[in-house]
Structure 1
Amino acid sequence: MTGLYVAAATLFGLAIGSFLNVVIWRVPRGESVAHPPSACPRCGHAIRARDNVPVLSWLLLRGKCRDCGNPISVRYPLVEAGTGVLFAATAWFVGPHWVLPAMLYLAAISVALALIDIDTHRLPNAIVLPAYPVSLVLLALGSWNPGGVAHWDAIVRALVGAVALLLVYGIAFVVYPSGMGFGDVKLAGVLGLYLGWWGWGALFVGWFAAFLLGGIYAVALMIAGRAGRKSGIPFGPWMLLGAAAGIVAGQPLWDWYVGVL
């Protein structure tokens, strides 16, 4: 049953990944993600249904448009495959629990936000702001846990976590505005919801890991001569990666640390 459960999540992730490719391309340009249908960015021909199967269509077309023959970026199948793998890993980690929809939603917006931030150094309000009510409702469903034991303390922690990270990132933005964008502050509240839901240890480790990983990356770029002290580096992907580390390993690390003390 576990194998079927993860396999279903993988297929769902592949389909969502195909949609995320549209989101990543259109949202930063202020375009609708619903209309018009997907088309080749070079010749403008609408993509046929048989050519819109995640990963498989790109392989069968050998990475080229059926109509104009121009190459299609390998990023499209990588986003689809990566989202499928991420959904599978999320389903395996969470298991058959009512919080799974919330975690799959976080996984989906993480892919979109990370790539958009890398491309444009922006975290669009069109994705970040709706994530607050959607995440809160889905996490409340996870706390309710119909048919099982309710965990209302988790949703209280989630709210505290959101406020805590908003304050921490907000203060950092005010003190050093050139080092952090306001989009990072808004994203911090969303991630605080999830980290708080999973525990105080997840919240602390997720916050710390973002700055640790982002700092290591920035130092590595400077050592390699690819960035200077004033270079702009997208921080959103590191916030998301730090949150993932907090959710997966934060609470065990925190419990171990407290035990050592």
Structure 2
Amino acid sequence: MSLDLLLVVFAGVLGLLVGSFSNVLIWRLPRGENVAFPPSHCPQCDHRLAPRDLVPLGAWLSLGGKCRYCRAPIKTRYPLVEGLTGLGYAVIAALFPFTTYGAGTLGLFVLFTLLLVASAIDLDTYTIPDELTLPGVALGLAFAALNTRSGAAEAGLPTLGQALQGALLGAGLLVTIDLLGSWVLRRFRERQYPETPIGYQQISLGLLAGAWLGPWWGLGVALASAAVNLAARRAVRIPEIVTLGGFLVSVMLGSTGFGPGLILMVQGALAAAGGAALVAGVYWWLRREPEAEEDAPFDPSAMGFGDVKLAAVIGAFLGWERLLVAVVVAVFAGAVLGLAQLALRRENRVKFGPYLALGAVVALLWGGGIVAAYRGMLGL
């Protein structure tokens, strides 16, 4: 057996074990429980599970899908998550072998786990926990730094600079869709409940400023606005007709060749908005008060903020080019499958996280070829 094949088998076994732990994350994170303590137990009878009850796939099959102690049914999601993780790790190890990609392969394992856990939680709760996405962005940047040092970047994985750009553009693209879509849902009326000190108003301001000043100055303007809110101890309103309307006018001017140019303006705007969104995400994660959050009033939103941060994770691990592939696939899949879901179940909310995860997997497996083909069409 060759070394690469042996590593693929090892990766599959590792995936089964990680899949078992992923089920713990899927159950405990939305409930705010510690993921390490208490030890694994049956959610029905609360009996502590023995090691033989935790064997991936085998325990569920040997028990006939029922708890050994109370005979309550065990969700089929448990073996499904374990099996998908094992298969996913094996495929990644085969396509991105350790001998070529080194730590980059481990990074892709982490990305796959984050995507699967986020999708399962989103399907259950319509939320994607910050405990997954925000550390996930940091992990993506850390693995990108290792890619730069190990040579995996030459094999197709992003460098640290490309990962940072991907994270900012990923968050910026989705938060811009959210901003504009929410503005339309409110029939272009102003937000009734602006966040303070930092929130959507500062992100909108960063979007406008980034178009003209570039990403870092745009982010600086957004943070300066947050500082004003802190000093005033209230939300100093920034009309969206100025920020979002100004951004749309800026794009129109850029398309005519005015200012820095359309491409630079859009890149600067999205990156600045993405940076402001991630800063806001970290701030509210650290300041979160679950009980107050449940009762807090909110304005209509076109997209969950968890999706924004998940897009940043994808951009950090895959870079901005494959991120764009992931978003296009997610939008197409969401449009087709989401409409079918709405028709069959009559739901008025679409869980976009799983579509983003699907797009990321497509981008990981075929994104390089898609980007190369697109460049060939443009003669680049």
So what's the TM-score if we normalise by structure 2? 0.63
| From 304, 310, 320, the counterpart of 1:187 | 310
Give 2:334's aligned residue: 214
Unaligned runs of 5+ in 2: 183-300
- The one-letter amino acid of 1:31's match is E
Q: How does 1:1-261 map to 2 (within 5 A)?
A: 1=2, 2-96=4-98, 97-98=101-102, 99-145=104-150, 154-177=159-182, 178-196=301-319, 200=321, 202-222=322-342, 224-227=343-346, 231-261=348-378
TM-superposed CA distance for 1:61, in Å, is: 1.5
What SS does the corresponding residue of 2:45 show, helix, strand or coil? coil
Distance in 2, matches of 1:149 and 1:166, equals 25
Unaligned runs of 5+ in 1: none
- The one-letter amino acid of 2:333's match is L
TM-superposed CA distance for 1:194, in Å, is: 2.0
Distance in 2, matches of 1:43 and 1:36, equals 14
Count of residues in Structure 1 that have an aligned counterpart in Structure 2: 255
- The one-letter amino acid of 2:112's match is A
Distance in 2, matches of 1:214 and 1:101, equals 29
Instruction: For residues 205-252 of structure 1, give each alpha carbon's deviation from its aligned partner in whole angstroms, at most 9, with x where no partner exists.
Output: 122111111111122234x44336xx1111011111111212221221
Counting aligned pairs with the same residue, the percent is 38
User: Bigger radius of gyration, 1 or 2?
Assistant: 2
What SS does the corresponding residue of 1:44 show, helix, strand or coil? coil
Contact 1:144 1:151 in 2 (8 A): no
Instruction: For residues 66-92 of structure 1, give each alpha carbon's deviation from its aligned partner in whole angstroms, at most 9, with x where no partner exists.
Output: 212222222211111111111111111
Distance in 2, matches of 1:129 and 1:101, equals 18
Instruction: For residues 10-31 of structure 1, give each alpha carbon's deviation from its aligned partner in whole angstroms, at most 9, with x where no partner exists.
Output: 1000000110111100000000
Distance in 1, matches of 2:350 and 2:110, equals 25
What SS does the corresponding residue of 2:112 show, helix, strand or coil? helix
Moved over 2 A (4+): 146-155, 219-222, 224-228
TM-superposed CA distance for 1:55, in Å, is: 0.8
Contact 2:144 2:157 in 1 (8 A): no
Contact 1:144 1:152 in 2 (8 A): no
Distance in 2, matches of 1:167 and 1:83, equals 29
